[in-house]
A and B are shown apart, each in its own frame.
Chain A
Amino acid sequence: MAALLISGGRVLDPSQGIDKVADLLIVKGKIAWIGEKGKAPSHSDLKTINATGLVVCPGFIDLHCHLREPGFEDKETISTGTKAAAKGGFTTVCCMPNTTPPLDSRASIDYVKKIAEAEGVVQVLPIGCITKARHGKELTEMNELAAAGVIGFSDDGDPVASSRIISLAMDYSRALNIPIIDHCEDKELSDGGFMNDGWVSTRLGLKGIPKAAEEVVVARDLLLSQMTGSKLHIAHVSTADSVELIRRAKEKGIAVTAEVTPHHLTLTEERVMGSRLEKNQQLMYDTNAKVNPPLRTKEDIDALVQGLRDGTIDAIATDHAPHIVADKMCEFGLAAFGISGLETALASLMGLVHNRQLDLKTIISRLTVEPGKIIGTRYGQLGTLKLGCRADVCLFDPNKEWVVDSREFASKGKNTPYDGYHLKGKVKMTLVAGQVVFKAE
């Protein structure tokens, strides 16, 4: 295998505190050297990539995405989903188990791994179910799922309602040192709601999902994590009070980590009324902004940004949820929840950097080293450019302006609320184990 020199980029690796213009040498798929431009050790058969003006960072890790295979191959496959990931700068994606059949057995986990091996262009790490068939009644064979390679346990969008069952899951899986990942939602409180319960839902006559539907379960889970001593990871935090609950739990030493999505960091409930890209645009019921948890308010965004800044929120995860057109081209109440998020993640987040709400290093650490820590080291050290580690690398232009066109997505899911948005920041190249898996034209 040839050696590859990525030359003249701004090497940004929060895992090592590196942020400098440097050359990065990859040999045999591993990081071999980082140093001053032009000083790389000579190498026969060396290919050079000019990265001038680009940021060179560890490939992103997505703790939360939906690849839909097996069962919903019309929405996405492991092949198309990982291509979308590569286009978004992701080199590792963790797929949720709400497939058909669900990932609640060794056989289904093995199936996903096998397809990922054959057809995936980035690393796919499965998340296993907490309960059989995600019914919230009986625990899965968690030891066997762990042996099969799951990096977390989650019943995803059908969270375990029973406090007893979730605490048993925590107890039972504690020794595995793998987190319970909870989509925190009290389904009784959300009661079939469609969007954030607030002024927009009132105006549109849509049933609201109160913030408390998330927060009461966040609070419950934190207390149960404290009781059991088990690792807990809170999926897609969306409200200010959830952030505050997690902050206080961390201060108390509870073993909790948390993630937030790019859309919850950049869009509010008002987006449901339309993108407002043009003045006087007609009021809409935009199903592309229908997502669970729902888009919230400016105050929530501020708290989520602060949570990222102070480390209360560890990771940024996409909750990539691709759907076919028919799932979204319908009445708002009947439309599927979810946003196809892999290919707009970085660019939408870069808006926060350009607006000076967050610095680039924070964003990158929450996309690389921090989610890497949550996964642990059973798949090697992830989210870093340390010497000897697998060369999963993302190169992006932080200032490149582009217009989102969902028709160009690699994902089968064209369901994005960012369609037509002018974003600044674009992935130029993605490498997995030193191999180019995506290159912008």
Chain B
Amino acid sequence: MRTIESRSGIAAPDTFPPSSTAVWQHSHILDLDDFTREEINLVLEIADAMAEVLTREVKKVPTLRGKTVVTLFYEPSTRTRASFELAAKNLSADTVSIDASKSSVVKGESLIDSLRTIQALGADIIVMRHSQSGAPYLAVQEVNSSVINAGDGWHAHPSQALLDLYTIRHHLGRTDNLKIAIIGDIMHSRVARSNIWGMTTMGANVVLCSPATLLPRGLNSFIENCQLQNISIENKIEPALENADVVMLLRLQMERQQSGLLPSLREYIQQYQLTTERLSLAKPKALVMHPGPINEGIEVSLEVAHGAQSVIEEQVSNGVAIRMALLYLIAGGKNK
């Protein structure tokens, strides 16, 4: 297999784009709020190179040989965790997977102690998922390993947002001036928050649509204070869908209804479910996306979820390429 040496001394796939590490400024990936357009473009370009690797018969490059990637998950996860682990293995990293909901945490070990232990075991990169917003921000203060946020509370899920952008660009060729409707439980959604940063940075027009009880009360002042451009809020799904290029649905946790935020699932389905009929309000080739796992028949109808416009499964496949790109960039970034 042919490889080239990047400036950072990390072996890269041969399709690696030139002059990339000059753009890259991160030693951790916590959210997309501090990503420039150039940096996001770089991730997407490298993900393209990684996607090419994934088409080969032997889906493995030696890029991260000798590096240790630890996935530390405090919340159950199937796709994100498997995706990061496959990504790390495809890059020849050694991987250790810690299901923190079943390990020392049960014995009362603090997050910081767990992180220090993992660092002491020689982790170069820690991929972490945590139910508390901000947990990875605490982690980077305490350990020298690079930290990739694989989802923290309601706050951020940057690799998901990047794979969403990647999927959109793959299908529509661009992100600028696209109308992207994000529909569902915005308040509790880390996917929505990271996508707000990523999509607006990439020039899209984002419409957030949700019942008022599932919208953060501070959303308007957040948009104003962070000087985010081209975001609007809709209470009803129809205007949000109108002429949309992309429709992204969010998972509705069943406990939202139980805690009183919604009168019934029935009414949510009536008001917000993406049906074939409603999808016809969007552009004819509009993409249907969902970060998963899906509640079929709740936020999206079965037909639409598995319909011709759905790219939901592709999002999952693209996740591996994006995470390979992130691991690659982070491993390189450490040697700056």
A interface residues, Cβ below 8 angstroms from B: 197-208, 210, 282-285, 326, 329-334
Contact = CB atoms under 8 A, between A and B. Distances in A.
Nearest to A269: B218
B132 A200 contact: no
B183 to A, nearest CB: 18
A329 B112 CA distance: 8
A199 B226 CA distance: 9
A207 to B, nearest CB: 8
A284 B34 CA distance: 13
Contacts of B225: 199, 203
Contacts of B31: 283
B203 interface: no
Nearest to B31: A283
A334 B152 CA distance: 14
Contacts of B34: 283
Nearest to A274: B137
Nearest to A207: B154
Contact of A283 (B33, B217, B222): B33
B111 interface: yes
Contacts of A333: 132-134, 153
A198 B221 contact: yes
A205 B218 contact: no
Contacts of A199: 218, 221-222, 224-226
Interface in B29-45: 30-31, 33-34
A206 B154 contact: yes
A215 B132 CA distance: 28
B130 interface: yes
B132 A208 contact: no
Contacts of A326: 110
A346 B223 CA distance: 36
A203 B111 CA distance: 23
B199 interface: no
Given A204-B155, A205-B152, A285-B138, A332 B132 contact: yes
A257 to B, nearest CB: 31
B156 interface: yes
Interface string B119-135: 00000000000101111
17 contacts: A199-B222, A199-B224, A199-B225, A201-B218, A203-B226, A205-B133, A205-B152, A208-B218, A282-B140, A283-B33, A283-B34, A329-B110, A330-B111, A331-B111, A331-B134, A331-B135, A333-B153
Contact of B134 (A198, A202, A206, A210): A206
B47 to A, nearest CB: 25
A205 B194 CA distance: 10
B190 interface: yes
A197 B221 CA distance: 11
Contact of B218 (A202, A282, A330): A202
A134 B290 CA distance: 47
Contact of A200 (B30, B33, B190, B218): B218
Interface residues of B, number: 32
Contacts of B133: 204-206, 285, 332-333
A292 to B, nearest CB: 18
A198 B156 CA distance: 17
* Most chain A CB atoms below 10 A, which of B30, B34, B135: B135
Nearest to A284: B137
B110 A205 contact: no
A216 to B, nearest CB: 15
B193 interface: yes
* Most chain B CB atoms below 10 A, which of A197, A283, A326: A283
A272 to B, nearest CB: 9
Contacts of A198: 217-218, 221
Given A285-B138, A333-B134, 8 more contacts: A198-B221, A202-B219, A203-B33, A204-B133, A205-B134, A205-B152, A283-B34, A331-B130
Contacts of B110: 326, 329-330
B222 A330 contact: no
B216 interface: yes
B34 to A, nearest CB: 7
Question: What are the 9 A-B residue pairs with the smallest beta carbon separation, nearest first?
Answer: A205-B155, A285-B134, A205-B154, A331-B132, A202-B218, A199-B221, A205-B133, A202-B222, A199-B222
Contacts of B30: 283
B206 to A, nearest CB: 15
Given A201-B216, A333-B153, A283 B221 contact: no
Interface string B156-194: 100000000000000000000000000000000010010
Contacts of A201: 216, 218
Interface in B136-160: 137-138, 140-141, 152-156
B89 to A, nearest CB: 29
A207 B217 CA distance: 10
A210 B155 contact: no
B178 to A, nearest CB: 24
A278 B310 CA distance: 46
B33 A205 contact: no
Nearest to B134: A285
Contacts of A207: 154
A197 B220 CA distance: 12
A260 B75 CA distance: 40
A284 to B, nearest CB: 6
A197 B187 CA distance: 12
A283 B216 contact: no
Contacts of B217: 197-198, 202, 208, 210
A270 to B, nearest CB: 9
Contacts of B224: 199
B190 A283 contact: no
Contacts of A285: 133-134, 137-138
B216 A202 contact: yes
A331 B132 CA distance: 6
A334 B134 CA distance: 11
Interface string B91-129: 000000000000000000011100000000000000000
* Most chain A CB atoms below 10 A, which of B30, B110, B193, B216: B216
Contacts of B221: 198-199, 202
